[in-house]
Chains A and B, each alone.
Chain A
Amino acid sequence: SQQGEEDPQALSIQEGENATMNCSYKTSINNLQWYRQNSGRGLVHLILIRSNEREKHSGRLRVTLDTSKKSSSLLITASRAADTASYFCATDNAGNMLTFGGGTRLMVKP
């Protein structure tokens, strides 16, 4: 079963716009991670936010975590065509055994 649910399932934007993806989960967590996947290939780790953190930045990425609402968001600013991919949130509540959501498919049009 999948703990996380991403919203929206698919997102299409123009290059230069911002993209926001949301993730909800069900149980308590140690941390929440965001991954990117291009065309059904391997997952690339983007950012990890711990349960005692509320916001984290990495380059054009901004992640927020609200443990009271059991939700997280990933913001990609100034999107590029190369950002086109599927994005997954994953929760870790026991020793790096991740529970993934269903993903958001992002398309950035040039």
Chain B
Amino acid sequence: ETGVTQSPTHLIKTRGQQVTLRCSSQSGHNTVSWYQQALGQGPQFIFQYYREEENGRGNFPPRFSGLQFPNYSSELNVNALELDDSALYLCASSLEGTLGETQYFGPGTRLLVL
């Protein structure tokens, strides 16, 4: 157990809908990153938040957005869902300030878009 929790565990949506996924960071961690993992592939970096500001972004369109709250929990929002958005969404928390700090991953939310 890493202390990082995600909700919900599973979710089914239809194309065009919007979805919000939630992540609670490990205690004391001020940085959260989100990753998308399609079936049979490695995770791909979506974006990272540090102290409530977006700190970096991967190659994902603007319909993927996020928030980080003062308690360092985080949300990932995806608008106008597409079939290809079906994937496991992972969040990871870490403590910014030290290069190469270990990231702690949550169990993921599996999203299916029909």
Do residues A100 and B44 form an inter-chain contact, with CB atoms below 8 A? yes
Do residues A98 and B45 form an inter-chain contact, with CB atoms below 8 A? yes
Whether A30 is near chain B, meaning CB under 8 Å from some CB there, is yes
Given A95-B48, A95-B55, A97-B56: A50 and B100 interface contact (C-beta under 8 Å): yes
A101: chain B residues at CB < 8 Å are 42
Do residues A41 and B107 form an inter-chain contact, with CB atoms below 8 A? yes
* Residues of A42-58 contacting chain B, CB below 8 A: 42-45, 48, 50
Closest to A94 in B: B56
Do residues A43 and B43 form an inter-chain contact, with CB atoms below 8 A? yes
Number of residues on chain A facing chain B (CB within 8 A): 28
How far does the alpha carbon of A42 sit from the alpha carbon of B108 in the complex, in Å? 6
Do residues A31 and B42 form an inter-chain contact, with CB atoms below 8 A? no
How far does the alpha carbon of A4 sit from the alpha carbon of B33 in the complex, in Å? 19
* Residues of B89-114 contacting chain A, CB below 8 A: 90, 92, 94, 96, 99-108, 110
How far does the alpha carbon of A41 sit from the alpha carbon of B108 in the complex, in Å? 7
Do residues A100 and B99 form an inter-chain contact, with CB atoms below 8 A? no
Do residues A95 and B96 form an inter-chain contact, with CB atoms below 8 A? yes
Given A95-B56, A96-B94: A30 and B33 interface contact (C-beta under 8 Å): no
How far does the alpha carbon of A64 sit from the alpha carbon of B12 in the complex, in Å? 41
A88: chain B residues at CB < 8 Å are 42-43
A99: chain B residues at CB < 8 Å are 45
Within the complex, which residue of A1, A48, A96, A103 is in contact with B31, where a contact is CB–CB below 8 Å? A96
Interface 1/0 per residue, B3-32 and A, CB below 8 Å: 010000000000000000000000000010
How far does the alpha carbon of A98 sit from the alpha carbon of B103 in the complex, in Å? 9
How far does the alpha carbon of A50 sit from the alpha carbon of B33 in the complex, in Å? 20
Whether B88 is near chain A, meaning CB under 8 Å from some CB there, is yes
Whether B79 is near chain A, meaning CB under 8 Å from some CB there, is no
Q: Separation in Å of the B71 CB from the closest CB of chain A?
A: 20
Within the complex, which residue of A41, A50, A94, A96 is in contact with B103, where a contact is CB–CB below 8 Å? A96
A43: chain B residues at CB < 8 Å are 43, 90, 92, 105
